[in-house]
């Protein structure tokens, strides 16, 4: 990938310039946390909520307290490193720093990485494929946004091979959980339903805002355990993420779904209207 602005531990780097030590725990064992935020007009959307979630993840991993000033400096540096990014992705990562080759951590400082780049706007609708693998809702890192993403890489490749752009996981109980990089909602009757956090899904920022804003607009949103089979019968399906916002789903494996259906269209409208009121809701 070219055109990515990169900052590591206080220094702006070239997008292909070596910047991490070979023994960084984020490299050797995937020991780290990250956040992906939407950039609109050179500004970061929902910055405070993303930072709060990063703190929850680092605490859940047992990492030391964050250097918030370092992260702020890195974010400011990549945003100012060129023309304002009209629509893009900001990703900041914190790793365990230099450590041993095994799972034990070292005692040195954490590593801070911040990147930013323009990205294409999302497609109007999405095509999902259900994976044969599960989310472990009882995992030690369930619900944490960690850098250990190999499971998602394999699942997304599976979906791509089947013509889809996103993959869906059930959990070990056979309940609907989440996608590789997005949360999932279904419409049943006159209500929107989404898996609860106890399903093992990530507490997505866009998920959180969609639930809050829809309820404030009088749209019923129910968080409850759902069988994976609900994807065979739901009238509408949509997914949410930082760069997708509310994205209607047109197809789940071989099943075609109305996209957008009326409740999905309403949720998308509510989200867009509320998001336009301020960058840090």
Phi, psi of 80, rounded to the nearest 5 degrees = -95, 0
Mean pLDDT along residues 77-88: 97
Of 54, 88, 118, the position where a domain reaches its end is 118
Same domain, 173 and 252: yes
Residues 159-187 have pLDDT tens digits of: 999 999 999 999 999 999 999 999 999 99
Work out the pLDDT band at 149, boundaries 50, 70, 90: very high
Same domain, 131 and 110: no
In this prediction, residue 80 carries a pLDDT of 98
Q: Tell me the CATH number at 232.
A: 3.20.10.10
246/125 Cα distance (integer angstroms): 10
Same domain, 96 and 157: no
Same domain, 208 and 191: yes
Same domain, 43 and 130: no
Same domain, 21 and 102: yes
Q: For residue 191, is it within any domain?
A: yes
Candidates 246, 259, 221, 232; CA nearest to 168 is: 232
Question: How many domains, the chain?
Answer: 2
Q: For residue 153, is it within any domain?
A: yes
Residues 222-267 have pLDDT tens digits of: 999 999 999 999 999 999 999 999 999 999 999 999 999 999 999 9
Candidates 39, 46, 24, 118; CA nearest to 76 is: 39
Q: For residue 281, is it within any domain?
A: no
What residues make up the domain containing 60? 5-118
Q: For residue 241, is it within any domain?
A: yes
Work out the pLDDT band at 26, boundaries 50, 70, 90: very high
User: pTM for this structure?
Assistant: 0.96
Q: What percent of the chain has pLDDT over 70?
A: 99
Same domain, 200 and 272: yes
Q: For residue 131, is it within any domain?
A: yes
Phi, psi of 8, rounded to the nearest 5 degrees = -135, 120
Residue 1: pLDDT over 70: no
């Amino acid at each position: 990938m070219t055109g990515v602005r990169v900052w590591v531990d206080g220094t702006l780097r070239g997008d292909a310039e070596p910047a991490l030590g070979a023994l960084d725990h984020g490299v050797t064992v995937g020991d780290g946390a990250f956040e992906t935020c939407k950039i609109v007009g050179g500004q970061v959307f929902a910055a405070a909520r993303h930072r709060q979630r990063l703190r929850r993840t680092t605490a859940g991993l047992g990492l030391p307290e964050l250097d918030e000033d370092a992260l702020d400096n890195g974010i400011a540096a990549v945003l100012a490193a060129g023309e304002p990014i009209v629509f893009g992705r900001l990703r900041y990562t914190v790793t365990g720093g230099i450590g041993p080759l095994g799972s034990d951590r070292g005692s040195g400082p954490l590593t801070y990485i911040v990147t930013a780049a323009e990205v294409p706007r999302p497609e109007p609708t999405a095509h999902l494929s259900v994976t044969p693998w599960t989310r472990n809702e009882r995992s030690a890192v369930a619900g944490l946004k960690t850098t250990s993403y190999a499971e998602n890489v394999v699942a997304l490749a599976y979906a791509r091979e089947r013509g889809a752009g996103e993959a869906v996981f059930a959990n070990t109980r056979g309940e609907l959980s989440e996608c590789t990089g997005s949360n999932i909602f279904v419409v049943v009757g006159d209500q929107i339903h989404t898996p609860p956090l106890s399903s093992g899904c990530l507490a997505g920022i866009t998920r959180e805002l969609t639930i809050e804003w829809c309820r404030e607009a009088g749209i019923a949103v129910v968080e409850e355990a759902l069988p994976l089979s609900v994807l065979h019968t739901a009238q509408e399906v949509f997914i949410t993420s930082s760069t997708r916002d509310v994205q209607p789903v047109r197809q789940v494996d071989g099943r075609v779904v109305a996209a957008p259906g009326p409740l999905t269209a309403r949720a998308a409208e509510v989200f867009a209207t509320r998001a336009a009121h301020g960058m840090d809701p």
